[in-house]
Each structure stands twice: as C-alpha cells, then as structure tokens.
C-alpha cells in the first residue's frame, strides 16, 4: 500500500498515525537529516514504513486530537526517524511527544543553484539569495514562490534563469507528494511477541525493539502522558545516583498489576489501571531502594547489581502492602544479595523473574520459598575464597566488597574515620584504591588479571588515595597502623607483615580472599534465623572465574577512561561503566568485560549500546560485543569522534 508523504503528515496531525512512545526517541544527526532530504529531492528510494494497526479506545493522541473509540490507529514501528525528520522540517516544529535534539530539525537550507542541503550559516548565506529555508518553502507554499520570484526579478536576473530556480523550488516542494510503501501488521493473531519478532527481523540492522518498547507504545496510545510520567520517576532516582530505564520501571509496573514478567499481560489493561500500578510500583521501589541501601550499603548505580530482582520484591510488597517484619526484610535482603552475587538476573531474563514470582504465590509461597528456589538453582549460597578470584571493577563480587565496606565499618587510612559514600567535599568521595600499586606490580612481572584482582581493591577517600600514590604496602602500612590502629584490619588486610612485601603478593591475595569470604558469610548469617543450611558448602564450589580468552580485557589506563567519562559528563551525557561485566542472559555467566560501556546507549534508551575494547588481540570480547548489538570501538579517539558526530551532532 502506498501513501503520499503529505497524507501521512496529516494523519499524524489527526492521530490516525501515531509516532509511538518507544524507549528510544529521535536520535538522528544533521548529516542524516541532510541525506534524507537529498534522497527525497532526487527521488531516490528511502525505504518503506512498518505500522502496527491497533484499535483505539477513545484516547487522546498527538496534537490533542480526540480519536473515536473503536477506530484503528497505526503505531509507526519502523520509519520513526524518517517521518519525525520530515514532519519536523516540513511543519517547522517536532511532533508533540518529540524526544531528542530539536536543533537538527531547525535551519535546513537548500541552494537553488548547486542543489545542495546545508544548515544555516549567517556569514555564508546572508548575501546569497539562492539559499532558501526548506521549512519556509513547505509552510508558505505559493506565497513563498511568489515572493521569491519578485525578489529575484528586482535583482535583474533574466526570466529564464529565474524560472529555472523556481522550478527547482517546486521540485523540492513536490517531495510531499512522494508515495511511501506502508507495510501494515494487523489481525487478532498478531500478538505482542509476533509483532516484536516481525519488527526485529525487518530492523535487524538497527537497535532491536524490545517487548517493553512495544508495550509502552500500546500504553501511550491510551495514556499519552505515560512516558513523561515514568521519566519523572527515573529523573528522581537519577538524582539519588540510580540510573534506571523505562523498560526496567515498566517491568515493576507489570509485576504489580499482573504477577507476570511478560509484557504481553499489560496489553488489555486500561490506562487507569496502569496509572495506579505505576503509583504502587514506584512507592515500593523507593522502599526497596532504601532497604537495599540501609541494610546492604548498596547506595548507587555502580554497585546495584541484581536490579531485576527489584520487580520481584515490588510484587511481594504490593501483595503485603509493604508491611514486613524485620525478620522478613532481612530474609528478603538475603535473597536479593544472593541473587546478585550469582547473577540470577544478569541480563533480565523473563523466565527467572516468572519463576520467582511463582514462588511468591500460593499457600506455601513467600520469601522462604523464594530463597529455597534460589538454593535449588545455585546450590550452596556460601561464599568461598575462590569467588574473589575475579578481577576488575566489572566483576560481580565488586559490589560485594563495596557492601562490606559500607556495612562493616571499614575505615579510611588517611583520616581513620568510617567510610561513607556520601561524605561532603570534592576530595572525600570514595575511590577504588589498588593496595599494591599497579605500576609496581607490572614492573615486578605480575600480569594484568593479578594486578587488577578484586582482593587488591579497597575503598578510600579520594584525598587519601592520592596521598598514598604509588607507595608499596610495606612502606605505608606501618604509618597507617601507627596513626590509626585497627584501620588496616577494618579493610581485611592480613596482619602477617611478611605478606605486605611485593614478592609475596600472590600469598597476600590468597589470605585476603579468605578474610573477605569469611566476612561475607558472617554478614549473611546475621540476616538469617534458622535457614543456616543455605550456607553449608557444596562438595564442588561454583566459580565465576572468567574464561581465559578474555583475561586480557582490562582497561590499559583507567585514568584515561575516567578523564573520558568526565568529558562525556561535561557534554550533558551519562558516564560510561568502566570494566563493564557482560553476562549471558540465561545463565548469568560472565562472557566478557568491556573496558568502557554504555549498555543503554550514550543517549540512554535512545541509541545503540556502545562498548570500548582497547586490547583486541586474541580476545573474544570484540565479537561478543558486536554480536550482541553493541557498537564497538577500539580506541578512545574513534569513540570520541562518534560522540561528537553522531550524538552531539557537531561537525569536525
């Protein structure tokens, strides 16, 4: 089926076509806008549209147009970027629910002599009358042509030349009559899963549409403000250090309303039900985050592992109206911590969420059933020293170390005070400190996984970290112990001074791993009452040691990565995750560690996931990233060029 562009724009105005509220919004840059209009002007094909025809329930759509109940509305699944671009330039304003950088839709100019599109530049264009505004031409139609013709005549140009320019302007204007092929998905058999599968096949070269994207589109068809309302909650959590996605929040709303993980169960709910579910979910999310922070010390995004366990907790709180005893809360926190440590929700698998939701239901359901199911899935929930053989801040047990620091009274080695993640002052924020300096370890012949072993990490204030610099423990430990007795032990440093020497570094790691494991198990016991059997070790201890083929994937210089993150933040974008742990969605097994990553895109939820992998020799990390939809880079300069060009929309 073919439809003229002008007709599609009118349909967008009256609500027959809706640009759905997906997680990702408008992400095109100026070069892509120019290229699209150049193709339209030259009558080159720009591809077809994919629309899902679904029934309206009398909802208000874009432009505050009331759509009669029972009428079908087309949700534009593929072609959103193209139609948003055309709409924004032609109408002179973006669609009502536009989410992106509006600058790229403003100031597009066309030169009637050279027939090229460029963005307005005053010095270059002000004295050349052949530069015309594409938006003004489209909005004013005949009057623009008449005024332009008079202006050229007053300049004394020959009639034939003027006529040639006018014809080019008309050719540009006539792109509105270009017909686009529209593929329509309709029918009662087109369930949510079917539509997502169709879309992802058609759009295999781009960022795949998740089931959450489509569920949100359906919700916004009945409640246009849904996405805006949800983003307000996300912004509030972000102020407190938590970066969540719309998909994640919608998952919690879904569990509250349906008791299911799959988004398709949201399909038949009314907008009133969804609004009530959002209110309930956010209330219990706040309560859960406060408990996780207060009980486990996991108080910001970098250490909030197992976040997809939160929708399960939220479901239980909604059933009990949040009235839990201290014993119940402790057991729930035990389950959450254990789920994160063993990667049960790594990648957010619906199957595991559903299993845990099922464990909460029924006569015998509840928190104990939840923990029993986790125990059956993983085996012993006891932590062993071998679990701290992971390396890098991307390892799953990194948050566990942070937890111990926060809940066990670990003290700073410069001040002797207990560490608090939110201490006042620029130099008092917590830093990851390498107990044995990296430069000294490399010089002594130790390899990267050993240098960046978790057992070589601790947390100190930034000021203390800078003050220690590259001193060896055998030199600065004595000073710390003399000035702040017990501060070393509070960070689980072996008391055997022989292990403070660099030649005994491997033995130091082994002993500290034992101290850390014992401390974690002691803490977990404090959360339990009579379920100590969970902490009895299995005969064969599971391990999370990463595969050998990705052992060399640590960042070569974390200082450079931190500096790059600072530049990103200065430009109004979210910082990337250094040493990002990428895991298998179903098993939770670590597949690779990316030096720097934006798993939700540098424009969060709006663009493709990004991964930086500096050392690509003999590694599978690059292929793992590429095959899982990440846009990959092997140098900071290439990554910076991408951010400047495609995210910030700047030239050069």
Mean pLDDT of 615-627: 61
pLDDT band at 169 (very low <50, low <70, confident <90, very high): very high
Residue 204, pLDDT above cutoff 80:
no
**pLDDT at residue 590 in the model:** 53
The lowest-confidence range among 18-27, 33-42, 243-252, 470-479 is 18-27
Q: Label residue 558 by pLDDT band (50, 70, 90).
A: low
Summarize pLDDT for 135-155 with one digit per residue, the tens: 999 998 778 888 888 888 888
CA-based nearest residue to 24, from 544, 609, 629, 465: 609
The percent of residues in the chain predicted with pLDDT above 70, rounded, is 81
Q: In which band, very low, low, confident or very high, does the pLDDT at 158 lie, cut at 50, 70 and 90?
A: confident
**What does the pLDDT read at residue 15?**
76
pLDDT band at 89 (very low <50, low <70, confident <90, very high): very high
Contact assessment for residue 137 and residue 165, using Cβ atoms and an 8 Å cutoff: no
pLDDT band at 355 (very low <50, low <70, confident <90, very high): very high
Query: Cβ distance 32 to 80 under 8 Å?
Result: no
Across-strand partners of 582?
592
Is residue 324 pLDDT above 80, yes or no? Answer: yes
Q: How far is CA 565 from CA 236, 244, 402, 405, in A?
A: 22, 19, 21, 25
Candidate ranges 67-76, 194-203, 397-406; pick with highest mean pLDDT: 397-406
What are φ and ψ of residue 178, in 5° steps?
-65, 135
Query: Average pLDDT of 356-375?
Result: 90
What is the C-alpha separation between 187 and 55, in angstroms, rounded?
10
Calpha distance 35→27 (Å, rounded): 15
Task: Please enumerate, as own/partner, the contacts of 531-538 that have beta carbons within 8 Å and a separation of 24 or more.
Answer: 531/331, 531/368, 531/371, 534/371, 534/375, 534/380, 534/381, 534/382, 535/380, 535/381, 535/382, 536/380, 536/382, 537/380, 537/382, 537/384, 538/379, 538/380
Q: Which among 355, 206, 350 is positioned nearest to 264, based on CA atoms?
A: 350
The answer on pLDDT for 547 being more than 50 is no
Higher pLDDT, 433 or 648: 433
Q: Work out the pLDDT band at 203, boundaries 50, 70, 90.
A: low
Do residues 350 and 504 make contact, with C-beta atoms less than 8 angstroms apart?
A: no
Higher confidence at residue 271 or residue 175?
175
**Apex CA 603: angle with CA 599 and CA 607, to 5°?**
70
Q: Supply 554's token pair.
A: 């640590």
The CA-atom distances, in angstroms, between 84 and each of 30, 33, 78, 174 are 13, 10, 11, 18
Q: Which range is least confidently modeled, 80-89, 173-182, 263-272, 549-558? A: 549-558
**What would the two tokens of residue 64 be?**
């505050």
Q: How confident is the model at residue 651 (pLDDT cuts 50, 70, 90)?
A: very low
Q: What is the pTM of this model?
A: 0.65
Give the pLDDT confidence score for residue 578 in this predicted structure.
77
Computed over its alpha carbons, how large is the radius of gyration of the chain? 29
pLDDT at 22: 45
To the nearest whole number, what is the mean pLDDT of the chain?
82
Of 130-134, 298-302, 488-492, 518-522, the poorest mean pLDDT is in 298-302
pLDDT at 439 over 60: yes
594 close to 172: Cβ distance less than 8 angstroms:
no
Tell me: pLDDT of 67 over 70.
Answer: no
DSSP 296: I
Q: What is the mean pLDDT of residues 469-475?
A: 94
pLDDT at 107: 93
When mean pLDDT is compared across 114-128, 355-369, 591-605, 615-629, the lowest value belongs to 615-629
pLDDT computed for residue 122 by the predictor:
86
Q: Which pLDDT band holds residue 422 (cuts at 50, 70, 90)? A: low
Residue 501 has pLDDT above 80, yes or no: yes
Poorest-confidence range of 323-337, 394-408, 456-470, 612-626?
Answer: 612-626
Listed residue (70, 73, 46) closest to 58, CA to CA: 70
pLDDT surpassing 80 at residue 368? yes
Residue 250 or 532, more confident: 250
Q: Are 593 and 553 in contact (CB under 8 A)?
A: yes
pLDDT interval class at 379 (50, 70, 90): confident
Q: What are the angstrom distances between the C-alpha of 14 and each of 67, 99, 243?
A: 8, 20, 35
The answer to whether residues 583 and 347 touch, using CB atoms and an 8 Å cutoff, is: yes
User: Sorting pLDDT into bands at 50, 70 and 90, what band is 58?
Assistant: very low
Note the maximum CA span of the chain. 97
Report the DSSP beta bridge partners of residue 597.
Answer: 577, 611
pLDDT at 60: 37
Provide the pLDDT confidence category of residue 63 given band limits of 50, 70 and 90. Answer: very low
Could you give the CA distance from residue 622 to residue 615 in angstroms, rounded to a whole number? 9
C-alpha closest to that of 124 among 136, 135, 139, 114: 114
Other beta carbons within 10 Å of 376:
8
* pLDDT tops 60 at residue 577: yes
Can you give the pLDDT at residue 325? 94
Instruction: Look at residue 79 and tell me whether its pLDDT is greater than 50.
Output: yes
- Cβ neighbors of 163 (< 8 A, separation 6 or more) are none
CA atoms within 13 A on the CB side of 86: 28
Higher pLDDT, 73 or 21: 73
Q: Concatenated DSSP letters for 166-232? A: HHHHHHHHGGGG-EEEEEEE-STT--HHHHHHHHHHHTTTSPPPPHHHHHHHHHHHH-TTHHHHHHH
Which residue would you say has higher pLDDT here, 459 or 208? 459
Task: Give me 492's structure tokens.
Answer: 């689980």
pLDDT at 314: 97
pLDDT score of 638:
83
pLDDT of 428 > 50? The answer is: no
Q: How far apart are CA 230 and CA 254, in angstroms?
A: 13
CA–CA separation, 282 and 601 (whole Å): 24
Lowest-pLDDT choice from 342-356, 534-548, 590-604: 534-548
Residues 630 and 597 sit within 8 Å (Cβ to Cβ): yes
pLDDT at 42: 95
- Place 514 in a pLDDT band, splitting at 50, 70 and 90: very high
The sign of the CA dihedral 85, 28, 192, 45 is positive
């Amino acid at each position: 089926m073919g439809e003229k562009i002008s007709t599609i724009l009118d349909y967008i105005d009256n609500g027959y076509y809706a640009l759905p509220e997906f997680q990702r919004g408008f992400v095109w840059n100026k070069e892509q806008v120019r290229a699209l209009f150049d193709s339209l002007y030259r009558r080159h094909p720009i591809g077809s549209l994919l629309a899902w025809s679904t029934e309206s329930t009398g909802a208000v759509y874009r432009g505050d147009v009331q759509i009669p109940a029972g009428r079908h509305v087309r949700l534009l699944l593929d072609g959103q970027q193209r139609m948003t671009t055309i709409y924004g330039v032609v109408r002179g304003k973006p669609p009502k629910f536009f989410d992106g950088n509006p600058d790229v839709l403003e100031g597009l100019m066309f030169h009637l002599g050279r027939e090229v599109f460029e963005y307005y530049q005053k010095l270059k264009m002000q004295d050349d009358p052949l530069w015309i505004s594409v938006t003004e031409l489209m909005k004013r139609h005949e009057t623009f042509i008449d005024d332009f013709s008079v202006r050229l005549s007053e300049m004394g140009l020959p009639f034939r030349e003027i006529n040639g320019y006018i014809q080019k302007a008309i050719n540009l204007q006539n792109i509105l009559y270009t017909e686009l092929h529209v593929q329509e998905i309709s029918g009662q058999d087109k369930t949510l899963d079917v539509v997502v599968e169709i879309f992802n096949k058609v759009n295999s070269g781009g960022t795949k549409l998740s089931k959450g994207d489509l569920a949100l589109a359906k919700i916004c068809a009945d409640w246009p403000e849904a996405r805006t309302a949800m983003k307000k909650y996300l912004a509030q959590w972000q102020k407190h250090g938590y970066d969540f996605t719309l998909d994640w929040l919608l998952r919690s709303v879904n569990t509250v309303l349906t008791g299911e993980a799959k988004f398709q169960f949201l399909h038949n709910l009314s907008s009133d039900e969804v609004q009530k579910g959002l209110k309930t979910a956010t209330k219990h999310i706040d309560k859960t985050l406060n408990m996780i922070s207060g009980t486990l010390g996991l108080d910001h995004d970098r250490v909030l592992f197992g976040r997809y366990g939160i929708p399960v907790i939220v479901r239980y709180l909604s059933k009990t109206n949040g009235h839990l005893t201290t014993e119940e809360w402790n057991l729930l926190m035990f389950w959450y911590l254990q789920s994160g440590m063993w990667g049960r929700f790594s990648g957010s698998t619906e199957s595991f969420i559903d299993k845990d939701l099922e464990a909460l239901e029924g006569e015998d359901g509840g928190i104990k059933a939840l923990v029993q199911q986790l125990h059956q899935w993983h085996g012993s929930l006891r932590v062993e020293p071998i679990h701290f053989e992971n390396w890098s801040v991307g390892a799953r047990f990194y948050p566990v170390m942070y937890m111990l620091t926060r809940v066990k009274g670990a003290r700073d080695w410069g001040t002797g005070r207990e560490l608090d993640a939110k201490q006042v002052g620029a130099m008092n924020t917590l830093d990851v400190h390498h107990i044995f300096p990296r430069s000294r370890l490399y010089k002594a012949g130790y390899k990267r996984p050993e240098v960046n072993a978790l057992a070589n990490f601790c947390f100190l204030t930034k000021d203390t970290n800078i003050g220690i610099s590259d001193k060896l423990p055998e030199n600065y430990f004595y000073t710390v112990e003399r000035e702040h007795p017990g501060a070393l032990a509070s960070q689980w440093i072996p008391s055997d001074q022989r292990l403070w020497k660099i030649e005994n570094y491997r033995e130091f790691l082994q002993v500290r791993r034992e101290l850390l494991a014992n401390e974690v198990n002691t803490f977990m016991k404090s959360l339990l009452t009579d379920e100590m059997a969970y902490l009895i070790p299995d005969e064969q201890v599971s391990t999370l040691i990463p595969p050998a083929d990705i052992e060399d994937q640590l960042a070569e210089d974390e200082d450079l990565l931190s500096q790059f993150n600072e530049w990103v933040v200065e430009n109004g974008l979210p910082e990337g995750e250094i040493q990002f742990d990428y895991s298998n969605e179903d098993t939770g097994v670590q597949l690779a560690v990316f030096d720097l990553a934006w798993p939700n895109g540098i424009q969060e939820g709006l663009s493709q996931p990004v991964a930086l992998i500096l050392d690509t020799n003999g590694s599978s990390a690059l292929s793992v990233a590429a095959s899982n939809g990440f846009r990959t880079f092997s140098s900071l300069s290439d990554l910076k060029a991408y951010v400047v060009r495609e995210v910030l929309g700047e030239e050069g």
